[in-house]
Chains A and B, each alone.
Chain A
Amino acid sequence: MTTTSGEAALFGILATLMVIAALGLLFAKRAVHAAMCVVFVMICLAILYVANEAPFLGIVQVVVYTGAVMMLFLFVLMLVGIDAADSLTETIKGQRWIGIVFGAGLLVVLVSVLASTDLPAAVGLEDANANTNPTGLAKILFGDYVIGMEVIGVLLVTAALAGLVLTHRQRLGARTTQRSMAAERVAALPEGRLLTPLPAPGVYAQNNAMDTPALGPDGQPLEHSVPRVLRIRGQQRTAAEVLGSEETLRSHLGLPAVGTALDDPQIPAIDEPSDHTSTEERD
């Protein structure tokens, strides 16, 4: 089987780009750039697989490695920190030399295995892909190598379970859920605790500053609507100030006191209910 000129051109272009990207992985300063270089290499590899009539391998490479594995890598990189640089100090003494020795050992093993492999004669793509590429692959994986597949499956499940067990931690106390919080609130009802959230300061009052208590439906200031810190410091406006302020405002504006009719239509009326109750209060 010969290579067509189109295939050769594709390989020439992609291989150059891939080598550049692979070098970028080595020399990139930021971890995310290195990760992007790997993604680029993976996608180019996938294109080469598809061009070599292995569409399943190519597409699955993108779905699994680019879409899931590298994405998890990026996820961790982002969680660790945007600009976290690797520290180059050795934590284990002689770590580098041990690493180099093990690497060389792996290389020797791989080369000797590759050198002693006796590859069978190629069947040819036409025959291998006779029942479409995925079906052919499935027949080999789940027919000839089914034991291997199952062993790997068991291994992966064990590893996943181990991950769960290792990251599991015991709770010290009971878990607080929405339901338990609701039950707690109801149980505290007799002590005078509210079921609802606390009112915000300044609601229905003369101004919406933090130190102004909200007015309740009865027109009375609600002390607990003012933030606790202000109350401890004694910085909240007192009820007398709140209730008196309307009177002050009216006297500043030269308006008649509460109770008499408003004649001037240009001055907006101050809302009725609070007028009413505050008059009563002062009596």
Chain B
Amino acid sequence: MIPGVHADFSQDNGWTFLVKAVLILVFLLTSVLVAIWFERKVVGRMQVRPGPNVHGPFGLLQSLADAMKLLLKEDMTVTAADKVVYLLAPMISVFCSLLVFAVVPFGPEVRLPFTDWSTPAQLTDFPVAVLYVLACASVGVYGIVLGGWSSGSTYPLLGSVRSTAQVISYELAMGLSLVSVFILAGTMSTSSIVNEQTGRWFFIPLLPAFVIYVISMIGETNRLPFDLPEAEGELVSGYMTEYSSMKFAWFFLAEYINMLNVSAVCVTLFLGGWRAPWPLSAINDGMLNTGWWPLLWFLVKVWLLMFVFVWVRGTLLRLRYDQFMVFGWKVLIPAALGWLVVLSVVQYVRIGDGVSQTTLIGVLVAIGVVVVATVMFWPSKKVAPAAPPPAEFDAFAGGFPVPPMPGQELPPSPRARRRPVTVSVDAADGADADSDPQEGTR
């Protein structure tokens, strides 16, 4: 048994690991096929159209047909591309996205049918498993960055520069929200975190961290409304513009596997992992939390989050790039930091001073009421005295161009307004007369 890890892998050997790894791979690849169909169908219903419905029952075979099409398309390599990196980039993306599920617990100890041989429904786990997930995600970004760079073209490069900035900023917020889980659970191993959520799922006590995680997980996977690296209206398709056929399909695959990854991590860290939801978990003394049942709850929760992804995509518009960055750095990260400080103090008081849960909640509610009351009854800001009239500003004082001093105002640039257009005589007879004041705006 590995110290600090709840799941017991002592009975596993090389064969078990191999079988589990293959099963995870099969699970991921089929899930992606289903996810593409699911997304198109749900977005279709949200946009009041049927979605894919031609191939197979309910159009279920549509993604299979798409995959076949991608496989059989001509595989092009652009002349300006840096050949090796161009080929390597989609591989990095897919490879890193496949790694994450190795530490995600699908369920507790399960017994193989017809044998008395039991093993955790999880490939592996170690004391820093959640950090390993972050590491995989951060290496996976290299696929996007290098793909955009190696294409030797402008739009992909812009897409990859955006993606770098985006992932670095949103990974910070994500990491900070994960730290609050570590503080509460006291461990970074996934199976132990699920074990700590026996009584209550972490999204209840850690609601702010949960919200921050959900927002930043959408930013991290480059999905709408945060899909700026591949914004169609601005960058064609961003970093994958120059990719075709199977290499494109790999990027596509990586994107959908990443969606599954972040959903699974969210379920494991905040939504109780494989645990049955409350009324069900009480049935027959927790019968539904044992055996193969947990697999069902885990999948249901993951697909609920996948639905949230699609729902958000069908509802929200793409953010402007600067708004997106401001949101990440000025809202999410400070909020996550503040929450972390509050949580650390509360946790210190709870464990160090042995304060009971009821007292703690009472004190917290009281503090909350006081804060709200202070904010509400705080005297409004005094109106600042009117600023002194701007002093005369000489842009060429002493013969050199100089910037304005504080209190001085920059005179309007002579080029700010364009010269008005003279209305031609012909136009005057039928045209509306009030068009002239518009001239400055065009």
Contact = CB atoms under 8 A, between A and B. Distances in A.
Q: How large is the interface on B (under 10, 10 to 19, 20 to 34, 35 or more residues)?
A: 35 or more
Nearest to B403: A172
Q: How large is the interface on A (under 10, 10 to 19, 20 to 34, 35 or more residues)?
A: 35 or more
Given A71-B164, A172-B410, A239-B426, A131 B3 contact: yes
A280 to B, nearest CB: 11
Contacts of B82: 30, 32
Nearest to A243: B430
A193 B141 contact: no
The 4 A-B pairs at the shortest CB distance, nearest first, are namely A67-B138, A132-B4, A239-B430, A238-B426
Interface string B400-442: 0001100001100000001001011011011110111111011
A224 B435 contact: yes
A191 B434 CA distance: 9
17 contacts: A39-B142, A62-B138, A63-B131, A66-B135, A66-B138, A74-B142, A75-B164, A135-B127, A173-B410, A193-B437, A222-B432, A222-B435, A224-B438, A224-B442, A232-B421, A234-B424, A238-B430
A68 interface: yes
Interface stretch (A7-15, A52-60, A143-151, A252-260): A52-60
Contacts of B188: 134
Interface string B77-103: 000001001000000000000000000
Contacts of B435: 222-224
Contacts of A59: 128, 131-132, 135
B17 interface: no
A191 B139 CA distance: 57
Nearest to A278: B430
A192 interface: yes
Mostly, the A contact residues are helix
B316 to A, nearest CB: 18
Interface of A: 30, 32-33, 36, 39, 43, 46, 55-56, 59-60, 62-63, 66-68, 71-72, 74-75, 78-79, 82, 129-135, 172-173, 191-194, 198, 213, 216, 220-224, 227-228, 231-232, 234, 236, 238-243, 281
Interface string B57-74: 000000000000000000
A56 B436 CA distance: 69
Given A71-B168, A172-B403, A228-B439, A62 B429 contact: no
A133 B3 CA distance: 9
A33 B168 CA distance: 21
B190 interface: no
B438 A194 contact: yes
A276 to B, nearest CB: 15
A32 B146 CA distance: 9
Contacts of A63: 131, 134-135, 138
Given A59-B131, A63-B131, A223-B432, 4 more contacts: A78-B160, A134-B127, A172-B404, A192-B434
